[in-house]
Amino acid sequence: MKNIFIACDTNNIQKIKKIIRQTQFRLKEYRIGYKFGLEFFYTRNGRKFIEGLKINNLWLDLKTFDIPNTSAASIKSIRDLKNISYVTVHVSGGLQMLKAVKKAAKKYNKKLKILGVTVLTSFSNSSIKEIGYTKSIKDLVKKQALLAKKANMNGIVCSAHEIKFIKKICKKMEIITPGIRLKGDKLNDQKRVMSPREAFDNGATSIVMGRSLIEGNIKNNIQKLIESLK
Ligand code: C5P
């Protein structure tokens, strides 16, 4: 079963409820999931709301990027959120950090899957140079995929452009791709984008979509997504 995660990127609980209500569709082969990122988790009532959700396939997109001890401690701090299936950490945090996070997950919530985030889909080959990287995105992601595998991550987050070579490295791992746009959609800040159909055809096990689905008329957007996957 492949996942379609809907990024609940808003700070408004009523909007989140609407998103969940209006995206309950059934599609053979695909399962819906919901992703909560920093925008919602950081709100006063966000954490409590997530804690009370009785739906499956929830992803907390914390994108932890800190020293091993602090990153591992963040996993301990969310140990009460037993309904969360996935959490993210930046692979750039290094092997020691990734291993510490895995160890914490094993200790505090055995069912929690840890996803390693590689180069963000908002980076291009030129903007990645601005922060001092000298390798191409492809080479960087390759290195990060090897590291994620070594640290025994459950899955990897990358752009759909990198799936093919990642699949060779991370054979049995989940591959989750943001930067997904339907035909004619605005790219916004995303640089490495692809359509849902192409991402799945390339071998993504999951895609994550935010603005294309949650902005404007949600039901119409979902209909467009379903059509595009036929
Ligand atoms: O609105 P859009 O579809 O661009 O949203 C993509 C979502 O995926 C956002 O919530 C963003 O935080 C997340 N994400 C990403 N790139 C990554 C990892 C996560 O865009 N590498």
| Cα separations in angstroms, 17 against 24, 52, 92, 155 | 11, 12, 34, 28
- Protein residue with least CA distance to atom 2, ligand 1: 210
| Residue with tokens 């746009």, as numbered in its chain | 181
Q: Which atom of ligand 1 is nearest to the CA of 119?
A: 21
Give the Cα separation of 24 and 139 in Å (integer): 39
pTM of the predicted model as reported, rounded to 2 decimal places: 0.96
- 83, 47 Cβ separation under 8 angstroms: no
For a mutational test of ligand 1's pocket, the pick from 58, 90, 208, i.e. the residue with the most ligand atoms closer than 8 A to its C-beta, is: 208
Q: What one-character DSSP code corresponds to residue 66? A: S
Domain boundaries, the chain: 2-228
Q: What percent of the chain has pLDDT over 70?
A: 100
What pLDDT digit, counting tens, does each position of 26-38 carry? 888 999 999 999 9
> Region 145-167: what's the mean pLDDT?
97
Cα(179) to centroid of ligand 1, in Å? 6
The pLDDT confidence band at residue 159, using thresholds 50, 70 and 90, is very high
Q: Which atom of ligand 1 is nearest to the CA of 117?
A: 21
Helix (H, G, I), strand (E, B) or coil at 82: coil
Pocket of ligand 1 (CB under 6 A): 7, 9, 37, 61, 117, 120-121, 157, 178-180, 188, 190, 208-212
Give the Cα separation of 46 and 50 in Å (integer): 6
- Protein residue with least CA distance to atom 20, ligand 1: 178
What single-letter amino acid sits at 51? E
Q: Please report the pLDDT score of residue 43 as a whole number.
A: 98
Q: In angstroms, what is the C-alpha Rg of the chain?
A: 17
What pLDDT digit, counting tens, does each position of 86-108 carry? 999 999 999 999 999 999 999 99
Active site residue 54: no
Give the Cα separation of 47 and 62 in Å (integer): 12
> Region 67-79: what's the mean pLDDT?
98
What pLDDT digit, counting tens, does each position of 111-126 carry? 999 999 999 999 999 9
Domain 2-228 is of which CATH architecture?
A: Alpha-Beta Barrel (3.20)
Q: What is the mean pLDDT of the chain?
A: 97
Give the Cα separation of 211 and 9 in Å (integer): 8
- 138, 169 Cβ separation under 8 angstroms: no
The catalytically annotated residue of 2, 15, 63, 149 is: 63
